[in-house]
């Protein structure tokens, strides 16, 4: 696996493949890799002739009071995992390489990014859209892989690629979970042993909510209220538990289009997010 740390190195490495006319699969990450990330890499490996991964903790997507400085960083372990998984090229840019004119979120994806996470993390998706646009323009992949764990981000990225007319297929990969249902996340390592046990309530409440709504779509509000109560009683501080349209991520109280249940909840100092589909459970 070749490792490059700037745009020039990245372009040179990709240009070196031009004779093969490769199908390039791209997996952007913020590192502290786990099996969820590796599922994306596995899909990229299966479906393409070359795989590029990136590792960049993007300051533009963190709010001033968020966990940028303490975000877990394990670059040596990450490199080993990516190499073992058959990644051809790892792009690990510096902040200066990614943002030569200073860290600034310059892209906004209308509407999708304003709901759910957008309400509680203002500017977050502008930061995501900015970095993903730059990465897609630099790597020029055939396909790029994003986790359904961050469902709203996946929709923002799909819209971004469409709006920018980028010739890339954006592919969503199902969420990898622990045996008790907790979605794998780099942030799970912030949880104490006791919090880790409690955290399984998040996917359990999501599942119950989704089942209730599927059984009786007139009871969306009641199902959400009950879920909120369960989480609050267990000591979670909720940002939201919402039923929203799958594509637009707009909250809904009627099921006219495919919808999902989304949650963001704080447990101690850790913020957990997750989502699940309502139909076909």
Q: Which is nearer to ligand AMP, 176 or 220 (CB)?
A: 176
Query: Shortest approach of ligand AMP to residue 53 CB, angstroms?
Result: 10
CA distance 86 to 65: 37
Interface ranges with ligand AMP (CB under 6 A):
29-30, 36-37, 39-40, 146-147, 149-150, 173, 175-176, 183-186
Query: Shortest approach of ligand AMP to residue 39 CB, angstroms?
Result: 5
Does 37 participate in catalysis according to the annotation?
Answer: yes
CB atoms within 10 A of CB 43: 19
CA distance 97 to 247: 33
Q: What is the DSSP string of 161-226?
A: HHHTT-S-EEEEEPPPB-TTSPBP-GGGGGS-HHHHHHHTHHHHHHHHHHHHHHH-GGGHHHHHHH
Q: Which is nearer to ligand AMP, 26 or 220 (CB)?
A: 26
Q: Among 25, 50, 49, which Cα is nearest to 39's?
A: 25
Strand order in the sheet with 24-29: 2-4, 89-91, 50-55, 24-29, 143-147, 169-173
Token representation of residue 99: 């943002």
Query: Shortest approach of ligand AMP to residue 148 CB, angstroms?
Result: 6
Q: Which is nearer to ligand AMP, 32 or 210 (CB)?
A: 32
Q: Which is nearer to ligand AMP, 10 or 33 (CB)?
A: 33
Query: Shortest approach of ligand AMP to residue 77 CB, angstroms?
Result: 14
CA distance 17 to 196: 44
- Catalytically annotated residue among 34, 37, 115, 254: 37
Catalytic positions are 37
């Amino acid at each position: 696996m070749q490792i490059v740390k700037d745009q020039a190195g990245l372009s040179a490495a990709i240009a070196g493949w031009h004779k093969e006319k490769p199908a390039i699969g791209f997996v952007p990450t913020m590192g502290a890799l786990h099996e969820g990330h590796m599922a994306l890499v596995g899909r990229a490996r299966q479906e393409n002739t070359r795989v590029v991964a990136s590792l960049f903790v993007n300051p533009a997507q963190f709010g001033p009071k968020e966990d940028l400085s303490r975000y877990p960083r394990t670059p040596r372990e990450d490199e080993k995992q990516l190499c073992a998984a058959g990644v051809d090229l790892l792009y690990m840019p510096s902040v200066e390489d990614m943002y030569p004119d200073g860290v600034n979120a310059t892209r906004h994806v209308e509407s999708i990014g304003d709901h759910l996470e957008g309400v509680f993390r203002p500017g977050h998706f502008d930061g995501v859209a900015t970095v993903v646009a730059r990465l897609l323009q630099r790597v020029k992949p055939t396909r790029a892989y994003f986790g359904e764990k961050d469902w709203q981000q996946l929709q923002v990225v799909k819209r971004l690629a469409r709006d920018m007319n980028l010739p890339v297929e954006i592919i969503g990969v199902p969420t990898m979970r622990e045996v008790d249902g907790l979605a794998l996340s780099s942030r799970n390592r912030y949880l104490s042993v006791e919090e880790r046990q409690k955290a399984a309530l998040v996917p359990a409440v999501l599942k119950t909510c989704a089942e209730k709504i599927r059984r009786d779509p007139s009871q969306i509000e009641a199902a959400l209220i009950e879920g909120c109560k369960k989480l609050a009683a267990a000591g979670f501080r909720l940002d939201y538990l919402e039923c929203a349209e799958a594509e637009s991520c707009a909250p809904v109280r009627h099921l006219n289009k495919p919808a999902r249940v989304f949650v963001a909840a704080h447990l101690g100092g850790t913020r957990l997010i997750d989502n699940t589909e309502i139909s076909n459970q």
